[in-house]
A and B are shown apart, each in its own frame.
Chain A
Amino acid sequence: MTISQIQEELIDEFSMFDDWMQRYEYMIDLGKSLPIIDENLKTEGRLIKGCQSKVWLNAELKDDKIVFTADSDAIITKGIIAILIRTFSNQKPEDILNANTKFIDEIGLKEHLSPTRANGLVSMIKQLKLYAVAYQAQLNNS
């Protein structure tokens, strides 16, 4: 599936809920499906700066696609990163770079984009895109 297809799918799933509590419960459930980062990869270098909770993110290039794994010590954060990883993992660096993140707003998680959330979500998206930049450069040089 393309990134925008996955985003449409997520918007669909979240539109089933009438209130924030159900949305958050669903997000917490999604967090349980997060592809968990290897314990030994939970290093200082893989920590995302700017989050109140700890978020570790790892990226690997498999063929021409990036595979992300992650973990967090807070479950809501884990849910958020699960949503991001479902959207961006197993995608080409170029597609990740060109993708927009408007769907976050549409699934009702806009408040997490605000700087008062210590920029957690914004930092995560930035980090995902930085990996895409790096692997894109690597692919261009090989």
Chain B
Amino acid sequence: MPFDIEKIRADFPILKRKVNGYPLVYLDNAATSQKPQIVIDSIVNYYSNYNANIHRGVHSLSQEATDAYEIARQKLQKHFNIKNAYEVIFTSGTTHGINLVASGFSEILKKGDEIIVSALEHHSNIVPWQMLCERTGAILKVIPMNDDGALIISAYEKLLSEKTKLVFVNHVSNALGTVNPIKEIIRLAHDVGAAVLIDGAQACSHIKPDLQALDVDFYVTSAHKMCGPTGIGMLFMKEEWGEKLPPYQGGGEMIKEVTFEKTTYAGLPHKFEAGTPNISGGIAFGTAIDYLNSINFREIEAYETKILEYATKKLLEIEGLKIYGTAPGKTSVVSFNIEDIHPYDIGTIVDKLGIAVRTGHHCAQPIMEYYKIPGTVRASFAFYNTKTEVDALVEAVKKAKLMLT
């Protein structure tokens, strides 16, 4: 199917609305993506036609719902090239997945063991590791970044040792768009016997990762950044880790047998899926994956690169504008500031012109500290954005600059 931007835009009902009297220009895709009608319909269809609890009932409705939910799991398996469907664990999102792994490692880590994270992390994602270190006496080490916003791999190699038990890095940085060389990061970690968890939240709307080729131990992502609903995500866990890690939460679905003396846990994935899950979310996640694949990731990547290059060129024509994060091959995020103007001021004015961008530190305070800035304005693009929208952004930023200086 050729990449037809008008047809694609017609799939997203929200893109027709106006904000503050102007047509919505949605450039906050790194925070969450918009949803195509087919995903919205899939949620409505579930609740209208086959809502039932799954994995338990023998009645037909429950069977239908279970089938749809398990088919969604298989869609994820296929999309991410995962060996077994039971290695796909549904979570409430990336944060849940990270906490599940961190909690599991609290039983494995000993005092003096080391965990490595990167300087590019979403700061909320540093917290579970700090908590884990406090509980276990393990030590947290940080891979530094350079001025372009790329990780310094030679420094990472020096941090690795037989004490390293776990490495946690995001696939793509949310604040800067940097694509990290995760294949190399994983290989180097495995050389010292450490496991690797990759946060794919920012990556999966742009890139289709092959998890078997990456040989990653854990990979987490959220549906809502991939045209799916909020409150549902995926944790991929290699089978061997699924056996090693203890359950995260106790409850229904995760047990095989319960007596008051002893409980035996269910196998993967149910061991980590306690309680009634987000059924409609899981099913709609599968629909979102189908939708993205129907457009084709190679086309998405090529189109977004064009938009990114155009936006970068146009924005840099504005005098005094500086872009943060210039690593080669980054995804479609432009984080910028204009000399002597606070990012909040720019964000406020461009919002009045119907343009949705993010301002602030993007939950990546260590990165902002590195550049010694209070924050940035971040425009993040998706495959449904257009050059016309980029022009609207550039005009709005120019207008803001005029008003604010």
Assess A53 versus B404: contact at CB under 8 Å? Given A20-B352, A21-B352.
Answer: no
Is B349's CB within 8 Å of the partner chain A? yes
Chain A residues, Cβ within 8 Å of B325: none
A118 to B361 alpha-carbon distance, docked (Å):
12
Are A24 and B374 within 8 A (Cβ)?
Answer: no
Is A44's CB within 8 Å of the partner chain B? no
- As a 0/1 sequence over residues 390 to 405 of chain B, the CB contacts with chain A under 8 angstroms (1 = contact) are 0000000000000110
Is B342's CB within 8 Å of the partner chain A? yes
Assess A77 versus B344: contact at CB under 8 Å? Given A20-B352, A24-B349, A52-B375.
Answer: yes
Are B360 and A118 within 8 A (Cβ)?
Answer: yes
Interface size on B, residues (CB 8 A): 14
Are A73 and B342 within 8 A (Cβ)?
Answer: yes
- As a 0/1 sequence over residues 120 to 140 of chain A, the CB contacts with chain B under 8 angstroms (1 = contact) are 000000000000000000000
B399 and chain A: residue at smallest CB distance:
A21
A54 to B373 alpha-carbon distance, docked (Å):
12
A interface bracket (residues with beta carbon within 8 Å of B): 10 to 19
Is B222's CB within 8 Å of the partner chain A? no
Is B202's CB within 8 Å of the partner chain A? no
Is A28's CB within 8 Å of the partner chain B? yes
Is A74's CB within 8 Å of the partner chain B? yes
Chain B residues, Cβ within 8 Å of A74: 342, 344-345
Is B359's CB within 8 Å of the partner chain A? yes
B359 and chain A: residue at smallest CB distance:
A52
Is A107's CB within 8 Å of the partner chain B? no
Is A36's CB within 8 Å of the partner chain B? no
Known: A24-B348, A53-B342, A77-B342. 5 other contacts (CB 8 A): A21-B352, A21-B403, A52-B344, A52-B359, A76-B345
In the assembled complex, 14 residue pairs joining A and B whose CB atoms fall closer than 8 Å, in A order, are A20-B20, A21-B403, A24-B348, A28-B403, A52-B344, A52-B359, A53-B344, A53-B345, A73-B342, A74-B342, A75-B341, A76-B349, A77-B342, A77-B344
